[in-house]
Amino acid sequence: MSSNEGLSDMLSNLWDRIVDHFEDYEIKKEDILHKLAFLLILSVGIIVRLFSVIKGYDPLIKAFDPYVQLQSATYISDHGFANFVHWFKTDSWYPFGFKIGQELYWGVPLSAVLLKMILGFLSINVTIQQAAYYSPAIYGTLTIIAAYYLGKEANSPRTGLFTAFFMSITPAFLSRSVAGFFDNESVGILFTVLSLYFFIKAMKNGRTSSAIWAGISLAALMGSWGAYRYVLDLLPLVVFFLAILRKLNYKIVKSYTITISTALSLGFVVIRVLKNEFFNIEIMIPVLMIVFLILVSMIQNMASNLSEKLFKKVVVIGVLSITILVAIATAVFLSLGIFQNIADKFWAVILPSGRSSIPIISSVSEHQPMAWGELFNNIHIMTFLIPVGIYYCIKKPTDVNITVLLFGITTIYFSGSMIRLALLLAPAASLLSAIAIDKLLFPYALSAHGKIALTKRKLRVAKSIGRDEAIIVYVIIFGLLVTFVFHSMGIAKNFAQSEMAPIVNSQNLLPLTDWQEALLWLRNNAQGEGIVKNSPSVVLSWWDYGYWITNYGNATTLVDNATTNKTQIGIVGTMLMWNFTEAVKLMYKYNIKYVLINSQAGETGLGSDLGKAIWPIRIAESTVPRYGINESAYYSKSETEGEGTIYKEPFYMSVLYRLAAYDENSGFAFHPNGPQTAESGSFMLMKNYPVKTLEGSDGFVYFKEVFRSFGLGGLSEARAYPTVRIYEVIYPSNIAQLAAELNTLYPEI
C-alpha cells in the first residue's frame, strides 16, 4: 500500500469520526429559543436603561444623592482609595465638616472606578464621570442576569427566564438602574439577588464554595447599601422557620453558618458598617441564630443518643438555664449600653405607625406608605401574579420555596410600609410572578405540545385540556406581558427626563435647565471669602439640595442629604421659619452669605420649598425646641369642610415664604391656580399675600436677589415665575452685637 493511500484512509477515518460525532449531537430547538429569548430580554433591559442616551439627552447624573457618589468616585480615581478613606470635606455640614470616606458606603464609587479600570484594560478610555453615568445601566443588566440564575435555581430555567423578563423592565427596579442614577441601589440590588442565589444554591448542594460566595455577596451588599440589614436578617428568619417546620439539615446549618461568618468577617472592613457596631440588634440577630442552630443540633444529637426520660429532663434543665443566662446577659448589656438600638429609619419601616413622631423621616416622600396606585405603577401585572406564586410556594413547602415565600412576604410588608422599598420588592415580585406563570402554563404546555406527562395526575390534567384552551391561555398571558412592556416603556421615558436632566417643558418644548444654571452661578460666585475673615461663603438651603450645592455648585452648605445631624437640620428650619430680623442673627452665627430657595415657579407637585414648609417647622420643633418654633403658631385647621389647613401670620412673615414669594412688580406672588392646603405638600393660594419688599420690621432691607432662573413659564415670564432663586444676605452694621444678644437668649447654642 502506497503512502498516499495510507494518508487517504487516515483522513477518511478522521472525517467519518467527525460526522459521527455531530450526528450524535442533538441541538434542541427549545434550547435555541430559550437562549434567544434570554438575549432579547437582555437587549430590552439595556435599551430602556440607556433611553436617555438614545434620545440624545445630555449625560447628566440624576437626582440628589448620586452627586456625592460621583464626587467620591472622582476623588478615588484622582487620589487613591487610601486617601478617600481619610478624606475630610470642609464644605459639608459647616462648620463641623464631614468624614465622607467613613460615612459613605464604598460600593457605588468603587463600582465606577472598577468599571473605568476594566474599560481602560480593554483600551476603552472613559472619564470617571462617563463610567459613573453608565454604571447603573451596566450593573442593572448584570442584575437581570443574576435574576435569571436565581429563578433557575429556585424553580426551573423557564422561571429564570420570566424572572429576568420582569426584572428587566419593572419600574420598581428600572427607576434605580437607568443611566445616570448613580446611587447605592443599582449595586445593592445586584448583590441582594446574588446573595439569595448563592444561599439557595448552597442549601441545595451543601457545597462550601456556594456558601462562601453567598457570604462574599452579602459582604459586598453590606459595603454598598444600608438595606443590607434586610438580607442579613432575612436569612436567620428563613433558618428559624425551617427549624420550626423540622426541615433543618446539615446542608442548611452549614450553608447559613458559613454565609453569615463570611459576610460579617468581610463586611466589617467597611467603616460605615463598623460604625454601626457589632452589638447592634440587626447584627446580633444572625449571630445569635448561629448559637440557636448549635443548640438545635445538640438537642437533635441527644435525642438520638439518650433515653426518652433522660432526654426530657436534660431539655427542661437546659431551657431554664439558657433562659436565665440570656435574661441576665441582656440586662447587663442593656444597662452598659452595649446593645445598640435599631436606627430610626428602620424602626419606621418595621413599625410605620410610629413614623409621625420622626419628622425627619416623614418629610421624605419616598418614606411614605405605599398607596394602591403606587404599587400598581411599580409592579403592574405582578400585583395579581404574586398571590398565585405565594400559593404554589405554600402548596409545596420545600426549603427553597419557604425561602422564596419569606422573601416575598417580607418585601411586600416593607414596601407597603415605605414606598422606597418597592425596590426590594422588585426581585421578590419578579421571582414569585415567574413561578406563578411557569406553574400555570405547565399543564397547557403539555397539551399544546402533545407531550405525555411524567405522572398519571399530570397526564389526566393534560388530557382534560384541549389544544384550543391552551392557545387561548398562552394568548392571554402574552397579552398581559405586552401591557406590562408598554407600561414600563412609558415610565422609562419619564425616568430619562428626571431631575437634573434637560427636562422639556410640555407647553413650549424648551429645555429646562434651571437647576444647572443656579448651581453654575454658585460655582462662579460663591467661592470668595465669607462674611467673616478667612471663612467660606456659606449657602443656606433646605437639606434636600445639599449634595447638589456642594458637589455640583462647589459651594459650602450647612446640611445635605446624608441627614447625619438632625439638630443642625432643625437649626436650618429655624432660620427659614423665623422672620427677617430674628433669622439674620442666627445666620450670622453660621456665616451665611447666600440663601437658595426652590420656588418651582408656583407650579404644583414639583417639590417646592413652600410645599415642604411644614417639615422645617416640625423638624425644628422636635430637634431644637429652645428656639420656640411651634407648628400651631404657623397654621391651623380650617373650620370650613374641605379647605384643609390655613397658614397663620408668622408663616407669611417667615424667611422661606417671603423669599419664595417676592416680586416687586407683581400684584400676586404665584400662579393664582395653585392649590391651597399645607398638609398635602402643595402651595397655598397666595394672591392675597403679595411680597413686594425685602425689608424687615425695622425698615432695613435684609436680602438682595442675585439670581433667578428662567422658570417654567419660559423666558418671557421669568420675572414673575422663577424656579430657583438665590439671595445675598445683607447684615446690619450692628449684627455682631445682635448675634451676641441671641447667645444670651439661647445659651445652649
Angle at 570 (CA atoms; ends 554, 645), nearest 5 degrees:
110
Instruction: Provide the pLDDT confidence category of residue 744 given band limits of 50, 70 and 90.
Output: confident
Please say whether the beta carbons of 67 and 551 come within 8 A. Answer: yes
Provide the residue count of the chain: 749
Rounded mean pLDDT, 483-506: 66
Per-residue confidence (pLDDT) for residue 539, from 0 to 100:
95
Percent of the chain scoring above 70 in pLDDT:
74
Instruction: Provide the pLDDT confidence category of residue 690 given band limits of 50, 70 and 90.
Output: confident
- 282 versus 107: the higher-pLDDT residue is 107
DSSP characters over 248-276:
--HHHHHHHHHHHHHHHHHHTTSHHHHHT
Q: Cα separation of 673 and 200, whole Å?
A: 56
pLDDT digits (tens, 9 = 90+) for 715-743: 434 445 577 899 999 999 998 888 888 87
Backbone phi, psi, residue 406, to 5°: -65, -35
Q: Which fold has domain 504-745?
A: Rossmann fold (3.40.50)
Give the up-direction half-sphere exposure of residue 699: CA atoms within 13 A in the CB hemisphere: 0
Smallest CA-to-CA distance from 232 within 354, 342, 102 is with: 342
> Is residue 705 classed exposed, middle or buried when 0-12, 13-18 and 19+ CB atoms within 10 A define those classes?
middle
pLDDT digits (tens, 9 = 90+) for 220-271: 999 999 889 899 999 999 999 998 888 888 899 999 999 999 999 999 888 8
- Residue owning grid cell 423578563: 165
- The three cell numbers of residue 84 are 478617600
Per-residue confidence (pLDDT) for residue 415, from 0 to 100:
86
| pLDDT above 90 for 529 | no
Averaged pLDDT score across all residues of the chain: 80
Q: Fill in the DSSP letter of residue 371.
A: P
Please say whether the beta carbons of 613 and 651 come within 8 A. Answer: yes
Please say whether the beta carbons of 695 and 631 come within 8 A. Answer: no
Per-residue confidence (pLDDT) for residue 283, from 0 to 100:
82
Q: Cα separation of 92 and 559, whole Å?
A: 7
Per-residue confidence (pLDDT) for residue 448, from 0 to 100:
56
Q: Which helix (H) or strand (E) holds 190?
A: helix 184-205
Please say whether the beta carbons of 461 and 442 come within 8 A. Answer: no
Percent of the chain scoring above 90 in pLDDT:
38
| pLDDT above 80 for 565 | yes
Rounded mean pLDDT, 406-415: 92
Rounded mean pLDDT, 357-374: 70
Per-residue confidence (pLDDT) for residue 377, from 0 to 100:
87
Per-residue confidence (pLDDT) for residue 693, from 0 to 100:
86
Per-residue confidence (pLDDT) for residue 303, from 0 to 100:
64
Smallest CA-to-CA distance from 220 within 256, 253, 193, 250 is with: 193
Rounded mean pLDDT, 76-101: 91
Lowest mean pLDDT among 141-150, 156-165, 656-665: 656-665
Instruction: Provide the pLDDT confidence category of residue 366 given band limits of 50, 70 and 90.
Output: low
| pLDDT above 50 for 713 | no
> From the CA atom positions of the chain, what is the Rg in Å?
31
Domain boundaries for CATH 3.40.50.12610 within the chain: 504-745
pLDDT digits (tens, 9 = 90+) for 600-622: 766 545 578 887 888 899 999 98
Instruction: Provide the pLDDT confidence category of residue 368 given band limits of 50, 70 and 90.
Output: confident
